Structure 1
């Protein structure tokens, strides 16, 4: 039998009042951390879908020469009506992209080892970023109230 089963209504309300008062003692930074962690509950549903990755094409894993391996890698993503096409030249580090049908979108490359780089797509939706080294990256595209965020990929 629990010690709380024989409490009167007044005792139970007093106990409940103390429990609620203790909740106010939680530091604000802990509350902020808890709210931030809660936003991650559906993160997979918020990421863009990978439509195409040339590294996954049949035969890509069994290339026969270094010249073939230095060819460009292409990726396509879609989310919330936005489509993102990317082509990365492994030799030069140049990343070409198109935000299909969305001129002027802001495109941000996020790396684990460098500061984010932001560019604006031109009137045709095209953009270019030089010096994109191999390694993990994700791309965030923002246009008006729509956002496309790719999952992390390794170039």
Structure 2
């Protein structure tokens, strides 16, 4: 290629035309992926804060994780909404309460299974059966707002 100062108008227009043709050749799925990647810039700021985890309490690491260990409790908060969870590892039952958001849809997401969604009752309580141990996250949605927990291992 020639030096930029040595290019004539016709040569510059040809280069510009090629650059525009390359832009048009980018598949729409790649454009969509690039736009979606911008959403990851603030992903940490959008996650609910962990307020309490019974597995982090003093002595929890030395207690037995067997049937006598008791349920695991977690609390999360985001934008004035609190999510309380209790998981019975042996039975796979997840009990919870969405404080301040009655009737919210609560969805449990797992990497190895389809999401399971239930609606909290008028008091904010919900129950989901068959939530085994492993990584999960919980999403609470109501009135266009969402509380999303970070991934935790139950």
Which residue in the other structure is 2:112 paired with? 113
Deviation at 1:8, TM superposition (A): 4.2
Q: Is 1:100 aligned to 2:102, yes or no? A: no
Deviation at 1:22, TM superposition (A): 1.5
Instruction: Provide closer, same or farther for how the CA distance between residues 103 and 64 of structure 1 changes in structure 2, counting only shifts above 3 A.
Output: closer
Following superposition of structure 1 onto structure 2, how do residues 48-127 of structure 1 map, counting pairs within 5 Å? 48-63=48-63, 66-69=66-69, 71-127=70-126
Which of the pair is proportionally richer in strand? 2
Matched residue of 1:151: which SS?
coil
Structure 1 CA distance, aligned partners of 2:45 and 2:13? Answer: 42
Question: Normalising by structure 1, what TM-score?
Answer: 0.89
Judge conservation of contact 1:80–1:147 (CA < 8 Å) in 2.
no
Q: Is 1:47 aligned to 2:47, yes or no? A: yes
Structure 1 CA distance, aligned partners of 2:52 and 2:9? Answer: 63
Judge conservation of contact 2:67–2:90 (CA < 8 Å) in 1.
no
> Alignment RMSD, CA only?
1.8
Point out where structure 2 has 5 or more consecutive residues left out of the alignment.
none
Matched residue of 2:31: which SS?
helix
Which residue in the other structure is 1:21 paired with? 21
Which residue in the other structure is 2:152 paired with? 153
Deviation at 1:44, TM superposition (A): 1.2
Question: Normalising by structure 2, what TM-score?
Answer: 0.90
Q: Is 1:37 aligned to 2:37, yes or no? A: yes
Matched residue of 1:115: which SS?
strand
The superposition leaves residues 115-139 of structure 1 with CA deviations (integer Å, 9 ceiling, x where unpaired) of 1110000000000011111111110
Q: Is 1:3 aligned to 2:24, yes or no? A: no
Judge conservation of contact 1:138–1:149 (CA < 8 Å) in 2.
yes
Counting matched residue pairs gives 153
Structure 2 CA distance, aligned partners of 1:151 and 1:104? Answer: 22
Judge conservation of contact 1:72–1:88 (CA < 8 Å) in 2.
yes
Deviation at 1:3, TM superposition (A): 2.7
